[in-house]
Each structure stands twice: as C-alpha cells, then as structure tokens.
Chain A
C-alpha cells in the first residue's frame, strides 16, 4: 500500500482544536419609511462597487383569488414586459446597459424583484425598478404571449419528475388551502385569466404599504432614501385585496403514486402540514431538522446514501412560511429500492421522535454546524439583502441575527424531543411516489400504508 506522506513532526493522531472565535458585527440596517408607506432599508457594505437592490412585496401565490391559481406569478412575470411606451425588450436593454443582474421571484407569501448593479448606476437602477413595479404597461399582446409561455412551461413540467412530485404533494396535503397550488397555477386556471385580472391584481396587491425596498452595498442611507423618494413617491396605496385565509386541510391517503412507466428512479415526498414561521419552537425545529435531514451527516442522508447507496442525496425540511408550512422529506431513489427507502425514511422520522432520541454528540454537532459558521451568511451584499428580506417578510426583530447563535446554542435534547413530538406525526405522514408503478407496486403492501391511490400527472 502506497502512503504518499512521510512520517513527520505533525501530530495526526487527533484533529486540531479550533482557535478562539473571531468577533463579527452583524450588519446594521438603517430604516426609513416614505409617506406612501414604502419601507426603505439600507445596509452599508462598501467592499466592492456593487449594490444589491431587492423590492419585497408581501403578497405571493397564496393571494391568488379562488379559481385564479397562478395570477400572482403571472402578474409578477408581466411587470418587466414594458413600461409606458417602452417594450419588454427596451426595458431589458436598459437593464443590460447598467450590467444589472435582474430577477423576479415568487413564493407563497411574497414576490420580490432583485437587481444587483454596479454602484455608479444606482440612480438608473432605482428609476428602472420603479418603472417595472409601479408603472408596468400590462398590455394585452404581452399578456397573451406570457400566458402562452407559462402554458408551455406547464407542459414541460409534466416531464420533470421532481416538479410533478412537488405539485402533486402540495395538492395532497393542502387541498384548496392557499398553499395547495404551485405559484405557476394550472392549465385550467391560466386558460380563463385575462389581462384585466392582472391589472386588478397589480392594483390591489402591488402596494407600497406591503413593500420593503432593501439596498445593500456601496451606498449611504440618505442617498438611497432620496433616490427612492424620487422614483417611488407617486406609487399610490390602493385598496387591498383580502389577505389569504387558511381553509380546512384535506385528509390524504397515506400512500399515493403518480405513475412514470420505466422510470429508473422513484421521486419521493413524505410529509405533512406542520408549523408557521412565528412558532416559538422555531430554533429547536431548525436543530431537529439539521440532525434528521438538514445536513450531509444527517440521519436520513447517512442511511439512504452513505449506508445503502440508494440515492445521490436525501434531505428533510420544515418550510417555514407565514401560515403553517410543510414538513417534507425529499429524495430520488433507484426504482428497485423504492419500498425500502420509504420504510427507512419513515423509520428515521419516527425514530428521532421516539425510540432513537437525539444523542449528545448529534446535538452538539447539529448546534455547532448551525452556529459556528453563521457569519458566512453575511459575506456578500446579496447574502445580506436576502437575510434582511427574512426580517421584512416575517416581522422579525432588529436583533434577530445577533440572537440566533445564543438561542440555538440553548436548545437541549429535551427541546428536540418535545418539538418533534408536537409538530411531527408519523401516522399523518403522506407519502407520494412518482415512479414506475409496475416495477414497485408489488413491494408496497408490506409498508402497511394501505392501498396506494393512483394519481395522474395530467390532473395534478
């Protein structure tokens, strides 16, 4: 056996201990509010001549009116399709001339537009952002094209097992609840939408009093407030549409299959509706999830990947939202291992909750992983802007970041046990397989999850 390293003076019998923790000051956020209600937050981070702008609007896919699934996302997609007399292409040419990285994102609770630009173009970036958000053209011709592209996208999503699984799983566990549909909506809902619906949604949901403009980078607070006032001051606060309400949740079958004949892998989702972001159990749940399926050395990944070799990777998450979000395990496993992977997954979830509680070593490792490297979440302007967005979206206090490490460090094994018991319920877990039913069907009865309900991708 070749050993390349020579014997040396280095002590390789044990790992070096970390040195003292270097201090780190969390970024301070300067906050103002314009007379129309728009929040303007800035963080000075002048290392590189860039500014990351984010405009967060606290209305997302959960604000889609009944029967109009996809309206918020379609509206967000229409915003950069032209302003005033300018076409979509002209708007994007202007963004390109200032080197902007422009992106629109929509989730359940919010939509956001981000533009990272060279700092010398700050004024032009804000003027463009306000044209996009406040004064979009919302033309009929652009609407029909954008809607058509979204319909094509839905067609393509039917080919993608992960996307099929995500959409079907939300529907199974949430039903008609505002979180029960993917932001993109469905063929049926998009088919009946008109440009007037988009204009109405823009007027009711894209309002300054729901919005926070965040600027992080090579900038000063007073400069950004002044520029924001110039660009956004004529943004009127209109009549708000109704805030989303949580409907009753459905009762799904425990085992469900979307057939994908001859698929080499099964895409799995296992979970249920869990808990909102404002739960006092948040930090303990984050620790519990880290141990269960939130890091490479989690129980789920070590079992399904590193021990069994069933998958390229497995993970769990509590998806925290303003209303109760899902707890979900997701993994793609080789077809022949489908039933065993489900059994092991449910076993690991149930195990941490009861018979195999967190060990002292696991707890220490989980907490260390979450806390010791926490500062890296604030390295770049984009990182800091994303962190600030969390404060704005969830009404978190100014000292939230400074409190994160001490709060997580206080989580005990008893806390992990308590929050798992309170928020995770194995008998309520819904399991979904997107895979080759003919190949896996015979193995399913032994799981004891009842007869599988067969769903069809087209109807999801």
Chain B
C-alpha cells in the first residue's frame, strides 16, 4: 500500500503536495500553518486558536464571510488548532477547486485589510462560549488544564491548553493579532496538500497562479523546551460530577521519536477496549471502575501518556490507582504476550488503511501528507510510519514502558464531586483550575 504523491516547493517557500484519487469527483484542499499554542507566550494563551476563527471572517477581496461561497459550491470546510499546528480544509466538488484556492490564497495574502475590531470582538465572544461549552460546563472538562499545568513547567509551551486562559483571551488586542499574522501566516511557514480528482499538472498550475505572488515571510525559529517531573505530583480539584475520576500521566517521547510507537501499542494493550489488561481487571472482573482508557499523546517536541479511570460508586480512587500501578509494573517487568503484540500489529495496519479511505476533512490522505511534511519534512514517510508499528517487539515495548511509565515520576490527578475532597487519591493537594 503506497500513498503516491508529488511535492513541489514554490519560490516563496510554500510546499505543495499533490495526490490523485479519481474514485469520487471531489478534491480535498488541506492547508497547514506550522503554528499552534506552543508558539504562544505565558499571559498570551489561546491566541493561535482565536486567530483560526478570524481566518473565517473574510479577507480583502471577498469580505462577506468565508463560508458562503464555498458552501454554495457544495463544499464542506473547517479548521482546527492544536499545540503544534493550525489546519484549514475544504472538500470541494472537483469543479470548484479553483474557488477554494482563490479563497485560501486570499486569506493567506490579504487577511489584515479586512480584519476589523467588530469581527475581532465577536469571535472573542464565540471563543469564550466555545470554552464554556467544551470545558467549563462539561464534567471533567477542566482536566487538561490541570494535567498540562502539572506535567510541564510554566515557561514550557505545553503548560497551557490550546483554548487558552480566560484572562488572556479577555486582554488580547487587535494589534497583537496583526503581528501574529505577519509572523506565522506566510508561505514559508505553510504546506498545502490537494488530494482527489485532479490532474497533477493543472492543479500545480492553479496553486502557482494563486499563491506564487504572496511574499515569503521570515523563517520561524523552532520552539525548544524541556520538562522533567521531580516525583509523583499528586493533585485534585472539585467539579460538578457524580463519580470521582483518576488520571495518571507521564512525560513520554515526542511524535515519531523512539518509543512513541511502543507507547501507542503499550497504552492500547493496557487500557483501550475490552481486551485490554486494565479493562479486564477494573471493569470486567473487579468492577471497581465504570470505564478506563489510555493514550500516548505525542506532540512535536514532547509527549505525555495518560491512563484515565472513573470509580464505580462505593469504590475509591486509591483502589483504582493501586490496580493501575500493578498492571503498569507487570507490563514493565514481563512485557506483552505474543498474542498482544500480534493483535497490536494487525490493528495498526487496519488503522492505517482506515485513514487512507478518504481524501480529506479532519484527517484523511491530504492531512496525513501535510503531517509528514510539516513535522518530518518527508511526505514519503507513510510506509516507514507503518513500519514503526511492525518493528515493535515484546522486548522494545517492555523496555519503553519500564523507562517512561515510572511510578516514581508522574502526575496523579483526582477530580472529585464538590464538597467531597476526601474522595481524592491519598496525599493529594488541591489545585486551582478554571
């Protein structure tokens, strides 16, 4: 299975990735800017994401909203921001590719003349409501704020969430928005991928037509930061929840680094799905938890792994913590079974195939090409990425778990019902979160 593509770099530094798939008369346009919340500074958080909203409010040559002409052409479109990158995508009927390129290039080249105070304050209100809906008014919704703040030191750019702090969002000024655009939103800090029903030469010609005249900006200096945990950081906060929940988190390797794939498979076999070791013990046999899950959250300059479990009524987070530590220690000492390794490999292969089914949207082939290109400078990485999972052995997985999921260096977060601080895991200290 290959993901065939061509890559061109325009004179202004814009990378152009093209993949032909004639299965359906649609084209995915996927544009990454290599900027996320990790490029923010303390006191100015939430900025990259707020900026993403402003990109949908119109640009100089079409200032009546970004959605209208594209939806009228039959497109779906959206964007997203994370710690490391901001992406924008349109899936358009093949006959509307030029329209999508016109729109994307206009906001890359000509956003600021159309950006007004009114748009800015409206989208700040929308983002504050996004934060209320997805974090503040959601049970356990503030967990990421507490976890990231405990895992990374205050000057580390993964210390804060992408949605940002309320106080910071309330004090952002329009001139900061303009400076942000100049610094990060330019061809040399971007990569565009087209996947779908295209003629490769025609598509490249259209991209040149619309993007070649946009000036390159200054190269963005990579963010460098380090983190280490001094011990077992034990914290809790109270929330509007009925059942207490425990999070155990560790610092782990960055995306694509050694150990990343081992921890992907390792967290799966520990706590994802009914076949996992922790589901079997906590939910199926001992019935002391209502759910359990785990993830290796790998990011560009560092990763963190977490295991999450919710206590069944009448059971404590202390009991759950003990089982989690027993199973992590057992995996670190004995490694996975052959069957667990084999299942992990087949599932990894299947996941790769599932990701190749669609040309774009959130995920899909166009987004995958951009991920490899932006993070590794190598859109050809697909087969080697799959090979990372095939190369995991019992021994490598065991050693990686033993090294990184160290019970002596972790964050242990309890979220407990209001007024029930005693339900937190033993020896936890209160933490402020909002």
List chain A positions with a Cβ less than 8 A from chain B.
1-8, 10, 12-13, 15-16, 18-24, 47-50, 88-89, 92-93, 96-101, 116-118, 145, 148-149, 152-153, 155-156, 158-161, 263-265, 267, 295-297, 305-312, 332-334, 364-365, 368-369, 371-376, 378-382
B347 touches A372 (CB 8 A): no
Assembly CA distance A60 to B124 (angstroms): 42
Using Cβ atoms and an 8 Å threshold, which residues of chain A touch B347?
A: 96, 99
B95 and A18 contacting across the interface, CB-CB below 8 Å: yes
Known: A1-B113, A13-B61, A49-B353. A375 touches B26 (CB 8 A): yes
Q: Are B96 and A18 in contact (CB under 8 A)?
A: yes
Query: Which of chain A's residues have a CB closer than 8 A to the CB of B241?
Result: 156, 159
Considering the chains assembled together, what is the distance between the CA atoms of A24 and B22 in angstroms?
11
Identify the 10 closest CB pairs spanning chains A and B, nearest first.
A372-B74, A5-B109, A99-B350, A309-B125, A373-B74, A22-B25, A159-B139, A8-B213, A19-B95, A12-B61
For chain B, give the interface size range.
Answer: 35 or more
Query: Which partner residue on chain A sits nearest B310 by CB separation?
Result: A156
Interface residues of B in 136-190 (CB under 8 A from A): 136-139, 178, 182, 186
* B108 at interface by CB-CB < 8 Å: yes
Closest chain B residue to A151 by CB distance? B313
Q: How far is the CB of A384 from chain B (nearest CB, A)?
A: 10
- Contact yes or no, A378 B24, CB < 8 A: yes
A387 → B minimal CB distance (Å): 13
Residues of B within 8 A of A308 (CB): 125
A160 to B241, CA, bound (A): 9
Q: How far is the CA of A117 from the CA of B349 in the complex (A)?
A: 11
User: Is there contact, CB below 8 Å, between A332 and B133?
Assistant: yes
Q: Is the CB of B71 within 8 A of A160?
A: no
**Which chain B residues lie closer than 8 Å to A13 at the CB level?**
61
The contact sample of 7 A-B pairs, CB cut-off 8 A, is A16-B102, A24-B24, A118-B350, A152-B290, A161-B137, A306-B65, A311-B126
Write the residues of chain B forming the contact surface with A, with a CB cutoff of 8 angstroms.
1, 21, 23-26, 60-62, 65, 67-69, 71-76, 91-96, 98-99, 102-103, 105-106, 108-110, 112-113, 121-126, 128-130, 132-134, 136-139, 178, 182, 186, 197, 209-210, 213-215, 217, 240-243, 273-275, 280, 283-284, 287, 290, 310, 312-313, 339, 342-343, 346-347, 349-351, 353-354, 356-359
Task: Give the CA-CA distance A87 to B198 in the complex, in Å.
Answer: 49
Give the shortest distance, in Å, between A438 (CB) and chain B (any CB).
15
Assembled-state Cα–Cα distance A374/B74 (Å): 7
CA distance A372 to B91 in the complex (A): 12
CB distance from B147 to the nearest CB of A (A): 19
Q: Is the CB of B99 within 8 A of A16?
A: yes
- Give the complex CA separation of A287 and B121 in angstroms: 32
CB distance A312 to B133 under 8 Å? yes
Tell me whether A22 and B243 are in contact (CB under 8 A). no
B380 to chain A, nearest CB (A): 19
CA distance in complex: A15, B105 (Å)? 12
Q: Is the CB of A369 within 8 A of B74?
A: yes
**Is A22 within 8 A of B126, CB to CB?**
no
Given A15-B102, A312-B133, CB of A152 within 8 Å of CB of B76: no
Compute how far the CA of A145 lies from the CA of B282 in the bound complex, rounded to whole angstroms. 12
Closest-by-CB residue of B relative to A371 is B74
A457 to nearest B CB, angstroms? Answer: 11
**Across the interface, do B290 and A372 meet the contact criterion of CB distance under 8 Å?**
no
Which partner residue on chain B sits nearest A8 by CB separation?
B213
Residues of A within 8 A of B351 (CB): 99
In chain A, what residue has the closest Cβ to B287? A145
Asked whether A92 and B95 contact (CB < 8 A) given A5-B214, A24-B24, A98-B346, the answer is: no
Q: Which residues of B contact A376 (CB under 8 A)?
A: 24, 26, 76, 91, 93
Tell me how far the C-beta of A262 lies from the nearest C-beta in chain B, rounded to whole angstroms. 8
Complex contacts, B213 vs chain A, CB 8 Å: 5-8, 10
Taking a contact as CB atoms closer than 8 A, the residue among A15, A88, A99 that contacts B99 in the complex is A15
Which of these, A4, A161, A368, contacts B214 with CB under 8 Å? A4
List A contacts of B273 (CB < 8 A): 92, 96
